[in-house]
Amino acid sequence: MTWLAGVGLVMGTVTLGVLTWAWDEHGEPVARTMGLTSFLIAIVLLSFESRDQRRTMFSLDVFSDRTFLIATGISVAVIYLGTTFSGFQRILDTTSLSLNQWLICVPAGSAVVVVSEIRKLVLRARYPDVAPLVV
């Protein structure tokens, strides 16, 4: 539970940071959209990180789970369409993002990968004899 609270804190802090910056730079609608986009990107990346407690998400075995990849593809499509397709924009109350705004949202959402991979390195170093737990 401590790990879950910690990763939630990272995701919340990054999302609020993006919101605060974008609010000052671009106004409320873009800020809300960028905050939502950053958070959703972090959720998708956390799903990759959560597949195994000790193995990196950068292993090729992720491609063996077809259902996971399809669900992830749908999630990515919904995130993108939520900011570009007018029907989704009306439902979600979002707005279009520029390339520069996307280039802020993606690395911000990726903070969860950095934190998770550091945790996995520590776990592998601390408990080298424990077999990985595949979820």
Residue 135 has pLDDT above 70, yes or no: no
Residue 133: its pLDDT value, please?
Answer: 56
The tens digit of pLDDT for each residue in 69-111 reads: 999 999 999 999 999 999 999 998 999 999 999 999 999 999 9
Tell me the percentage of the chain whose pLDDT exceeds 90: 68
Which of these, 58, 20, 41, lies nearest to 111 by C-alpha position? 41
Residue 26 has pLDDT above 90, yes or no: yes
pLDDT top residue among 123 and 113: 113
Domain boundaries, the chain: 2-124
pTM of the model: 0.87
Residue 134 has pLDDT above 70, yes or no: no
Query: Average pLDDT, stretch 26-37?
Result: 95
Tell me the percentage of the chain whose pLDDT exceeds 70: 96
The tens digit of pLDDT for each residue in 45-80 reads: 999 998 888 888 888 888 888 999 999 999 999 999
